[in-house]
């Protein structure tokens, strides 16, 4: 069976175009992390404010290796420390900030694993070379969609190539 040069050329081009994406998601290399637990303020009608019990726990990366010209993905594995009926209302915003006060990216966990197991929230950003090696920080905010009050954790992060 003889294949014409034109058909062969079309097949080769179609294969090459489909085989090479412009960029791909890559998990960053986590060099170190520390365990953290999150809670939030409880604001009562009387005006009294107190902190809740710990609501979740996770390991927060404190040093990572990222890649240029790639979508860098940092997975956070959140473990609920309270029942699903209580945790399903809790929201966690994870934001990456530069020391100069520029937000790099953020992601919010809205939907918890209904089995009560670990819930993964991925924070990602495309690095076109503007994110340099150096010191950054995570700002992790715990809140509720139905109750006032929030809790914040600020964690230093070292980024390198």
Q: What is the pLDDT of residues 83-134, one digit of tens each?
A: 999 999 999 999 999 999 999 999 999 999 999 899 999 999 999 999 999 9
Half-sphere exposure of 104 (CA within 13 A, CB side): 28
Q: What is the pLDDT of residues 144-159, one digit of tens each?
A: 988 889 999 999 999 9
Tell me if the pTM is above 0.75: yes
Which domains are seen in the chain, by residue range?
22-160 (2.60.40.2550)
Residues 61, 32 contacting (CB under 8 angstroms): yes
Enter the tokens of residue 140: 């992790």
- Higher-confidence residue: 8 or 55? 55
* Res 24: pLDDT: 61
Q: Which residues lie below 8 Å from residue 61, measured CB to CB, with a gap of 6+?
A: 28, 30, 31, 32, 33, 74, 138, 157
Strands 150-160 and 56-65: parallel
């Amino acid at each position: 069976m003889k294949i014409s040069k034109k058909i062969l050329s079309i097949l080769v081009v179609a294969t090459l175009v489909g085989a090479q994406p412009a960029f791909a998601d890559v998990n960053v290399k986590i060099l170190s992390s520390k365990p953290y637990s999150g809670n939030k303020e409880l604001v009562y009608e009387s005006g009294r404010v107190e902190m809740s019990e710990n609501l979740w726990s996770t390991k927060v990366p404190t040093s990572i290796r990222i890649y240029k010209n790639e979508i860098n993905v940092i997975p956070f594995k959140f473990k609920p420390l309270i029942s699903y009926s209580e945790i399903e209302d809790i929201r966690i915003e994870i934001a990456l900030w530069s020391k100069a006060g520029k937000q790099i990216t953020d992601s919010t966990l809205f939907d918890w694993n209904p089995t009560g197991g670990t819930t993964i929230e991925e924070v990602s950003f495309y690095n076109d070379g503007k994110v340099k090696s150096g010191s950054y920080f995570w700002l992790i905010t715990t809140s509720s969609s139905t109750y006032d009050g929030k809790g914040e954790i600020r964690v230093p992060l070292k980024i390198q190539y």
